[in-house]
Amino acid sequence: MRIVVIDPDQTATRLVGFILGEAGHTVVQATTAAAGLHAVFERETDAVLLEAELPDLDGWELCKELRGRRYTGPLIFVSEQGSTRAKVRAFEHGADDFIVEPYDPAELVARVGAVARRCQRADYQAMGTVLKVGDVELAIGELTVRVAGREPVLLTPTEMRLLECLMRNSQITISRETLIERTWGYDFVGESNRVDVYISRLRKKLERDPAAPEYLHTVRGVGYVFRPAPRRANVVALPSSVGVNGHVEDFIQSIG
């Protein structure tokens, strides 16, 4: 794979480059966000590893920028900032994984490979696929979701996989464990609350009011279910002047 590593610490970058190079990958190194953006879009890129602290733009904003420019491959943070807050921020901005330094070289190679395989499988399965449930339409190949009457919203690859799983099993409650297996794979290594973080992100993109969801519902103690609200029938209210016995035909003619 061609992997772009974005980190101002050249010693850390060289170490990552050596580890991934030994595993057979081609590594391109960048020390700034600007150089990283250029490297990612200069040629086809299979994965991006980035640090949270960069001199010209923090890693979270860079992650968001990459997704905004429709980079759909793996985005993996490799950072000493291992707090839950840092990880949640990363996932909220479009990251697929977060590796805390110091790390075992074998784990780094394995997790990069696992995330890349998941994205490749999703890309292959998604080509030309449009999934529609109720008034929600998921264009998998385009990484967009659209609710009738609203503009399409761009999703990250991980958000797409999670929403696809729920929409394909509409009305069925899916456990967190099953969602992890379907979205991140059986070889997932990470925090169990990651599903909750991504559901929160999807609600912000899909729901009119994320605090009162119409589509993505929580089943306490079990998991989540995609259950679109039933469509409301159009009801015409007759004025009180139209009695039971009279003038209904005149009223209908008056409204066309």
pLDDT tens for 80-110 read 888 888 888 888 888 889 999 889 999 999 9
pLDDT score for 167: 92
- Beta strands per DSSP E along 106-227: 130-133, 136-139, 144-147, 153-154, 174-175, 216-219, 223-226
Which residue type, as a one-letter code, is found at position 133?
Answer: V
pLDDT score for 235: 43
Asked if residue 208 has pLDDT above 80, the reply is yes
pLDDT score for 251: 38
Domains of the chain, first to last: 2-125 (3.40.50.2300), 127-226 (1.10.10.10)
Helix (H, G, I), strand (E, B) or coil at 49: strand
CA distances from 218 to 140, 156, 175, 205 (A): 23, 21, 10, 16
If you average pLDDT over residues 40-54, what whole number do you get? Answer: 89
Name which of 70-79, 121-130, 212-221 the model is least confident about: 121-130
**DSSP character at residue 171:** T
**Closest by CA position to 29, among listed 56, 44, 9:** 9
User: How far apart are the C-alpha atoms of 93 and 198, rounded to whole Å?
Assistant: 10
